Amino acid sequence: EPEVTQTPSHQVTQMGQEVILRCVPISNHLYFYWYRQILGQKVEFLVSFYNNEISEKSEIFDDQFSVERPDGSNFTLKIRSTKLEDSAMYFCASSDTTVAGANVLTFGAGSRLTVL
Amino acid sequence: AQKVTQAQTEISVVEKEDVTLDCVYETRDTTYYLFWYKQPPSGELVFLIRRNSFDEQNEISGRYSWNFQKSTSSFNFTITASQVVDSAVYFCALSERRSSASKIIFGSGTRLSIRP
């Protein structure tokens, strides 16, 4: 069964460092998402991406965050200068649903980011 | 603005009991989509069901059933004859038809524990 692959599974970084989280969406999917989940809390939307540009973003997704699809297969989330509160599980998701709003997301296993 | 409320933070039942997880949503749109996702202890998010706002028919899939009522803005999920493997956090979610990659907003989740 096709799956969304995320790397690394766990990253520990020092506050202020840059972090790149990588995702390989399902190959025929066109819609891409990043969510985060602080331990034990709700799943929060960060950003959605389609046709090489951001489709929607949340208030969390400020100037320290960026996304990129550098090579047609990977989808990356960059955090420029990490803060303690960025510690969370980051989930990538992709969808092939073409009807706006009806996107069924297939999630990756997540990348746990720990900021010290 | 879209909002999803899952008032039940935790539910614990004995195996074979029926259990209903409540979900109440808010949206100003007439066209929207509702979802349920499951997050087992392993941490991944697994899609269970999607309904659109024009389809109020209840749905049954094995031991799972969903009751969508627009009049009360609710989309409740019932597990019949619960099993230990049903233990997970269950998230209700809502998407409005905003863009090609519309954001999906999750509720805070209900942690379901099934005791043997």
pLDDT tens-digit profile of B15-27? 999 999 999 999 9
Residue pLDDT, tens place only, B26-60: 999 989 999 999 999 999 999 999 999 988 888 88
Q: Measured in whole angstroms, how far is the alpha carbon of residue B36 from the centre of its chain?
A: 4
Is B102 in contact with A55 (Cβ distance < 8 A)?
Answer: yes
Give the integer Cα–Cα distance in Å for B80 and B110: 17
What pLDDT, on a 0 to 100 scale, did the predictor assign at position A45?
A: 96
How many interface pairs between A and B have CB atoms less than 8 angstroms apart? 82
| CA A10/CA B27 separation, integer angstroms | 36
Cβ within 8 Å, pair A43-B45: yes
Task: Tell me the average pLDDT of chain B.
Answer: 94
Tell me whether residues B44 and A44 touch, CB distance under 8 A. no
Return d(Cα B75, Cα B87) in angstroms, integer. 20
Q: In this model, does residue A4 exceed pLDDT 80?
A: yes
Which residues of chain B have a CB within 8 Å of the CB of A60?
Answer: none
pLDDT score, position B99: 76
Chain A: residue whose CA lies nearest to B5: A42
Q: Do B104 and A109 touch (CB under 8 A)?
A: no
pLDDT per position as a tens digit, A43-85? 999 999 998 999 999 999 999 999 999 887 899 999 999 999 9
Q: Best interface-test mutation with A: which of B103, B106, B108, B110 has the largest number of A CBs within 10 A?
A: B103
| Cβ–Cβ under 8 Å, residues A89 and A40 | no
d(CA A115, CA A13): 5
Give the residue, A67 or A39, on which the prediction is more confident: A67
Residues whose CB falls within 8 Å of the CB of residue B80, separated by 6 or more in sequence, listed in order: B18, B63, B64, B65
* SS3 of chain A: CCCCEEECCEEEECCCCCEEEEEECCCCCCEEEEEEECCCCCEEEEEEEECCEEEEECCCCCCCEEEECCCCCCEEEEECCCCHHHCEEEEEEEECCCCCCCCCCEECCCEEEEEC
Are residues B109 and A103, on separate chains, in Cβ contact within 8 Å? Answer: no
Question: Which of A9, A35, A42, A49 should be substituted to probe chain B, the one whose Cβ sees the most B Cβ atoms within 10 Å?
Answer: A42
Question: What tens digit of pLDDT does each residue of B63-99 get?
Answer: 999 999 999 999 999 999 999 999 999 999 999 887 7
Q: Write the burial class of residue A25 (CB in 10 Å: 0-12 exposed, 13-18 middle, 19+ buried).
A: buried
pLDDT of residue A76: 97
- Residue found under tokens 């706002």: B53
Write down the residue that tokens 């090609």 correspond to: B100
Q: Does the CB of A45 have a partner CB in chain B at under 8 Å?
A: yes
